[in-house]
């Protein structure tokens, strides 16, 4: 691995699919590369909608060459009405990764919250505020799906080399320093 | 529409994805074009598995040029352990249709059973036996996923121009004749 890793985060959705790309260095500092959403027309047939989502994700991959793809995990028991579309969109995101030879991973919403804010029950706004702070953005990325995609990308990069944030005794000195900085940033 | 329609049926799955292609004429008679399965290694990462399924479906589309794609509908409430993989595979099938400019449709398992056998609570073996009879096959297609894909393709073709089988008073004379032929074939 180079000294930084470029991560594509995907917040899967059929109407709006969040796409966020960040470069994350070994010291956990991060830079925004790209943020946006792939959209599809809710009135269009499902096959056309999924093709639009795939095209949007492929365009971001081709433009920015991420090294790894992280997708928010979808649960069958949540939001039954929309879960199938969300599951299909997550499948499309994973497919694009596989077809480009990129490794992919999924993270649960609470893993993302814990990695970004230090606790798994943080609310969406706290996550978004932390993302904006870490990436030194003047404003919260909008729509929320785009900010969520950045959070997923950061979560993946931070969990991989260093393990979850806030693990207490298991933390290295560098992790402890980071956790303290995060607590200061939140307070 | 020409005098026959070529339908690709997909029984979505991650380990085995059934692929069946049939030509169906206006008189509801049908001919087998292709039957098989796209497989993926359960030990492989999800993104590699989805890419393998996509490649298998695309190969069948490229080789046999279906005019329409029919996919069995996945429900969130069934088989929670595997439903996400099945939903993702169904998304891949619909995506391939959308990317090739083919119209797609989904049908529930009970719609398929009703269309093929005349009743929605038929068991799998009855459906497969009817598929083999309609397509004049010497043996049931195996694995079951392949036979199911043929049933989905037939269901789609039969529902589209003529409506559901066995509707009683709403049937045209041709439909009534077909329903009678089906009852004879089952008896």
The ipTM value here is 0.80
- Whether the CA torsion B150, A50, A156, A73 is positive or negative: it is negative
What CA–CA distance (Å, rounded) separates B55 from A24? 33
pLDDT for A79: 60
Distance, C-alpha A125 to centroid of its chain: 15
What CA–CA distance (Å, rounded) separates A150 from A154? 6
Answer whether A99 sits within 8 Å of B54, measured CB to CB: yes
Residue A30 near residue A135 (C-beta atoms within 8 A): yes
3-state secondary structure at position A64: helix
Confidence band (pLDDT; 50, 70, 90) for B185?
low
Residue B75 near residue B83 (C-beta atoms within 8 A): yes
Residue A178 near residue A117 (C-beta atoms within 8 A): no
pLDDT tens track for B166-181: 333 444 555 555 556 5
Kindly tell me if the per-residue pLDDT of A170 is higher than 80: no
* A131 torsion bin: left (phi>0), alpha (psi -120 to 50), beta (else): alpha
Can B72 be counted among the known catalytic residues?
Answer: yes
Chains A, B: CB contacts under 8 A, how many? Answer: 90
What pairs with residue B70 in β-bridges? B9, B105
pLDDT for A62: 97
What CA–CA distance (Å, rounded) separates A49 from A41? 7
Block residue for tokens 């030879």: A101
What pairs with residue A34 in β-bridges? A21
pLDDT for B177: 57
Q: How do B104-107 and B30-39 pair as beta strands?
A: unpaired
Domain ranges of chain A: 4-108+137-163
pLDDT tens track for A67-89: 999 999 987 665 666 788 999 99
Block residue for tokens 């009879």: B133
| Alpha helix ranges (H) inside chain A | 46-64, 80-99, 109-117, 124-134, 144-162, 173-186
Kindly tell me if the per-residue pLDDT of B187 is higher than 60: no
Average pLDDT over residues B121-127: 88
pLDDT for A80: 64
Average pLDDT over residues B138-154: 92
Average pLDDT over residues A140-158: 93
Confidence band (pLDDT; 50, 70, 90) for B163?
very low
> Hey, is the C-beta of A40 within 8 angstroms of any chain B C-beta?
no
Q: How do B4-11 and B16-25 pair as beta strands?
A: antiparallel
Average pLDDT over residues A99-110: 96
Percentage of chain B modeled with pLDDT above 90: 68
Least confident segment among A17-21, A51-55, A109-113, B31-35: A109-113
Percentage of chain A modeled with pLDDT above 70: 81
State the catalytic residue, choosing from B11, B23, B148, B182. B11
What CA–CA distance (Å, rounded) separates B91 from A166? 37
Task: Compute CA distances A137 → A30, A129, B41, B112, whole Å.
Answer: 11, 9, 42, 52
pLDDT tens track for B21-76: 999 999 999 999 999 999 999 999 999 999 999 999 999 999 999 999 999 998 76
Nearest residue on chain A to B76, judged by CA atoms?
A76
Chain B positions touching A108 (Cβ under 8 A) are none
Task: Compute CA distances A125 → A27, A128, A151, A153, whole Å.
Answer: 25, 5, 11, 17
Which fold would CATH assign to domain B4-186?
Nucleotidyltransferase; domain 5 (3.30.420)
Query: What token pair was written down for A61?
Result: 């991959």
Rounding to the nearest 10 degrees, give the CA dihedral for residues A25, A27, A28, A33: -30
Kindly tell me if the per-residue pLDDT of A55 is higher than 50: yes
3-state secondary structure at position A143: coil
Q: Among residues 83-122 of chain B, which lie with CB inside 8 Å of chain A?
A: 83-84, 87-92, 94-95, 97-99, 102-104, 106
Kindly tell me if the per-residue pLDDT of B126 is higher than 50: yes
Task: Compute CA distances B171 → A84, B113, B130, B166, whole Å.
Answer: 34, 18, 21, 8
State the catalytic residue, choosing from A23, A72, A111, A182. A72
Kindly tell me if the per-residue pLDDT of A99 is higher than 80: yes
What pairs with residue A104 in β-bridges? A69
For residues B187 and B52, which has the higher predicted lDDT (pLDDT)? B52
Q: Compute how many other C-beta atoms are within 10 angstroms of the C-beta atom of residue B43.
A: 7
3-state secondary structure at position A170: helix
Confidence band (pLDDT; 50, 70, 90) for A176?
low
Answer whether A47 sits within 8 Å of B103, measured CB to CB: yes
Shortest CA distance to B116 belongs to which of B74, B152, B167?
B152
Nearest residue on chain A to B106, judged by CA atoms?
A46
Q: What is the mean pLDDT of chain A?
A: 86
Residue B93 near residue B50 (C-beta atoms within 8 A): no
Chain B positions touching A106 (Cβ under 8 A) are 46
Which residues make Cβ contacts (< 8 Å) with residue B121, sequence separation at least 6? Answer: B110, B113
Residue A127 near residue A135 (C-beta atoms within 8 A): no
Q: What is the mean pLDDT of chain B?
A: 86
What CA–CA distance (Å, rounded) separates B69 from B102? 7
Block residue for tokens 């971001």: A60
* Nearest residue, CB atoms, A47 vs list B48, B49, B104: B104
> Hey, is the C-beta of A51 within 8 angstroms of any chain B C-beta?
yes
CATH node for A4-108+137-163: 3.30.420.10
pLDDT for A2: 53
């Amino acid at each position: 691995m180079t000294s930084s890793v470029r991560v594509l985060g995907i917040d899967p959705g059929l109407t709006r699919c969040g796409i966020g790309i960040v470069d994350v260095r070994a010291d956990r500092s991060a830079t925004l590369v790209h943020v946006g959403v792939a959209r599809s027309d809710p009135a269009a047939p499902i096959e056309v909608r999924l093709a639009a989502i795939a095209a949007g994700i492929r365009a971001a991959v081709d433009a920015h060459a991420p090294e790894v793809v992280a997708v928010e995990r979808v649960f069958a028991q949540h939001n039954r009405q929309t879960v199938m579309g969300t599951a299909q969109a997550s499948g499309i995101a994973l497919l694009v990764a596989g077809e480009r030879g990129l490794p992919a991973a999924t993270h649960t919403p609470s893993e993302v919250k814990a990695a970004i804010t230090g606790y798994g029950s943080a609310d969406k706004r706290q996550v978004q505020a932390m993302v904006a702070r870490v990436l030194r953005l003047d404003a919260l990325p909008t729509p929320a799906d785009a900010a969520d995609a950045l959070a997923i990308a950061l979560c993946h990069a931070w969990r991989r080399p260093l393990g979850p944030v806030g693990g207490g005794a298991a933390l290295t000195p560098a992790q402890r320093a980071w956790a303290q900085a995060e607590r200061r940033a939140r307070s």
